Structure 1
Amino acid sequence: MATMRQIAAAAGVSAKTVSRVFNDDPHVLPETRERVEAIMRELDYVPNTLATSFRSGRPSVIGVAVPDIVDPFFAEIARAVERTARDHDMSTLVTSLGDDPEREREVLEPMLRRQLSGLVLAPVGEDQRPLAAWASRTPFVFVDRAPGGLTADAFTQDDFHGAFEATKHLVGHGHRRIAFIGDHLRLPTTAERLRGYRAALAESGIEEDHDLIALGADTPSRAAAALAEVLSIRDDAGAPAPATALFSSNAVCTMAILPALAGRPLPLVAFGDFPLADLMRPSVTVVVQDPESLGRLAAERIIERIQHPDRRFETRTVLPVRLLERDSCRGSV
């Protein structure tokens, strides 16, 4: 029986292209597809995924577990894992963890019992030590959020400097009463972004006002309450001292707070882009992340771990982020 490499050699293409033809990837040129499919039929090619399973001792499936598969950021991570897995004749199994850290292990263990080739995980809990037994025999790669209490590969983004630059950007527009709107400090991403916000204020000589930090703003009702809170602050003399600008720590909080901002010309910078952010009036200035790279790199690392189980790898990689200025931070103080 022919192998993928033999098909590729006969067709004059790469093994990855053969995999894409077999998986009906629409990006393969029609003439290339026809040539590869003709050779597949001629040589009676069947992908040898069973051999991969026997060699590795587990099915050729990569698990993906993220807080919410509907969230555009995590959905793009899952899509990138799926594309990379498909290029290597592997499939994916995707689940949403929800937002309750107590249920993280409960959701993950049924998936891990399937003897996955590896797991890409964006955790919701602070402590992943209960997963150590699984991680000892299944490659784990963490994305967006580094693991707590567990040594494993992780691909994260520069939360601290992204928040630092966002806050400094608002300071540069003349703002000194900048509110931080976030979800939960148990998430390392939120904690690091708050640290970056505080560092930017300190470098700018602005004294931190704890009343300007509003957490738990991950639903429209809670976001509206957080906004009302930072806009109703008074100083020690009783005079109004509201926030004049907002830094939102993630796209979920940003989308939750936008309805409450309707009709309010309050400058805003958001960590994380989101659908239609560039089409809103005003368009939303964002710290741009790269979920596609996170998912692709995580899947590639799992494949490398399978192919080279004894090789040393970098356990943590931090990807850069960048500020994309639009109109929402240009309001007047």
Structure 2
Amino acid sequence: MTVTLKDVAQAARVSVSTASRALTGTGLTSERTQQRLTRIARELGYRPNPIARGLKTGQSRLVALLVHNLTNASFQVMAEVVQARLKALGYQMLLCIGGDDPQQESDTLTTLVDHRIDGLIVVPTGKNGPQLKALAKDVPIVCLVRRDDATDLETVLADDPQGAYLGTRHLIELGHKRIGLIVGRQDTTSGRERLSGYVRALREAGIAKDDTLIHAGHFVPETGATGCRKLLDLPRPPSAIFVANHEATLGVLRVTAERNIAIPDDLSLLCYEDMPWFEWHRPAISIVDNGARDLANLAVDRLLQRMDAKGNGNDGVREYRVGARLIKRDSCRQFDAPPPARSAKSKSSSSKSSAAKSAKV
């Protein structure tokens, strides 16, 4: 049976209000009474009801983080950072997965309202602006990674235009002129801005944009796999591929393995968003790092200020940017340099394997 506050009060022979003040550390109760009530509550197995307490105090001590998936390593890092920061302040984090699906996002927002959350950090789909605006009247909200263009909610973004520009320019400086791009949906902030950085770098280098080298789609591995196949099957395939989101990278690596493509000897590969095994991979994968840890820390800072009735985000700033950086490893090589020589045995084995893979594909 559930032990209630009334049970604790009866066991201690005090009123329910005295027991409540003692166990919450509020009100005028002596230290001796507080210690005795705490001991009795522990012996009885009493656990406070956070929902009931939230109704009484107006605070649930619950903060939600709503992301699309945990396939993306950046979202994993963000969840770890947000949870650690909130836990240190006495909050519990509710981790919600929206699947980048507007209906699922809407249903989740409704559920979070029922749980009376104290704050929300959300990676929005961009399709539920009115619902977010309505919720923001009662709950402090910070958008992360993406902007919801239908709202004026405070937003923390990576410098995706600059990150994609740096990555594309790096490949151009290595001599690549046919650079494939696999990027996210163009109705999202990150998808649009990473494409814009890619186009800017091409334009500055005097390279014409070729739409056959650009593949946009949902943030899932299959987008990477489909895009990679289309690029490799072109009459003039690219000498380098820039995969501009983490989920798509997983699909690209699957296809290059299926087709026995040697990286970077046969194809230079540059990816977006870092994770530990990219550095351990052989060859180690060059990436544009979007600063997931810094993004999460800044989002928590902004949310906490908005949760503070004194500040509540009234500094006039609505959008913050975290710088992206290029990390050069071993998956990109100079295009005009001859590939490292392979042994006759390796060439024969590679040729047979490629033929077998091609037959399957």
TM-score tier by shorter-chain length is 0.7 to 0.9
- Asked if the contact 1:271–1:286 (Cα under 8 Å) also holds between the matched residues in 2, the reply is yes
CA offsets, 1:280-307, max 9 Å, x none? 2211100112222222222222222222
Structure 1 Cα separation of the partners of residues 222 and 156 of structure 2: 32
TM-score, structure 2 as length reference:
0.73
CA offsets, 1:79-110, max 9 Å, x none? 11111111111111111000223432122211
Structure 1 Cα separation of the partners of residues 171 and 82 of structure 2: 35
1:183-198 → structure 2 map (5 Å cutoff): 183-198=184-199
| 1:321 matches 2:324 | yes
State the partner residue of 1:154: 155
Structure 1 Cα separation of the partners of residues 327 and 80 of structure 2: 24
Instruction: Give 1:165 deviation, angstroms.
Output: 0.4
Pairing partner for 1:242 from 237, 248, 254: 237
| Residue type of the alignment partner of 1:91 | Q
| Residue type of the alignment partner of 1:108 | L
| 1:67 matches 2:106 | no
- Asked if the contact 2:224–2:251 (Cα under 8 Å) also holds between the matched residues in 1, the reply is yes
- Asked if the contact 2:64–2:94 (Cα under 8 Å) also holds between the matched residues in 1, the reply is yes
Instruction: Give 1:124 deviation, angstroms.
Output: 2.1
| 1:259 matches 2:254 | yes
Structure 2 Cα separation of the partners of residues 128 and 309 of structure 1: 26
| Higher mean C-alpha displacement, 172-181 vs 76-85 | 76-85
State the partner residue of 1:132: 133
Over the aligned positions, Cα root-mean-square deviation in angstroms equals 2.8
SS in 1 for 2:184: coil
- Sequence identity, in percent? 27
1:167-186 → structure 2 map (5 Å cutoff): 167-186=168-187
Instruction: Give 1:69 deviation, angstroms.
Output: 3.1
State the partner residue of 1:210: 211
State the partner residue of 1:306: 307
| Higher mean C-alpha displacement, 272-281 vs 170-179 | 272-281
Structure 2 Cα separation of the partners of residues 319 and 123 of structure 1: 18
Instruction: Give 1:308 deviation, angstroms.
Output: 3.1
State the partner residue of 1:227: 228
- Asked if the contact 1:80–1:293 (Cα under 8 Å) also holds between the matched residues in 2, the reply is no
CA shift in 2, pair 1:173/1:217, >3 Å: farther
| Residue type of the alignment partner of 2:159 | D
Instruction: Give 1:224 deviation, angstroms.
Output: 3.1
Structure 1 Cα separation of the partners of residues 61 and 150 of structure 2: 28
State the partner residue of 1:104: 105
Gaps (5+ residues) in structure 1? Answer: 5-39, 235-240
CA offsets, 1:105-139, max 9 Å, x none? 12221112211110000112345223211111100
Alignment length, in residue pairs? Answer: 291
Instruction: Give 1:2 deviation, angstroms.
Output: 11
Instruction: Give 1:55 deviation, angstroms.
Output: 9.1
| Higher mean C-alpha displacement, 223-232 vs 114-123 | 223-232
Instruction: Give 1:145 deviation, angstroms.
Output: 0.9
State the partner residue of 2:93: 92
Instruction: Give 1:56 deviation, angstroms.
Output: 6.7
SS in 1 for 2:278: coil
- Asked if the contact 2:71–2:247 (Cα under 8 Å) also holds between the matched residues in 1, the reply is no
| Residue type of the alignment partner of 2:227 | A
Instruction: Give 1:49 deviation, angstroms.
Output: 11
CA offsets, 1:181-203, max 9 Å, x none? 12322221011000100000000
CA shift in 2, pair 1:306/1:228, >3 Å: closer
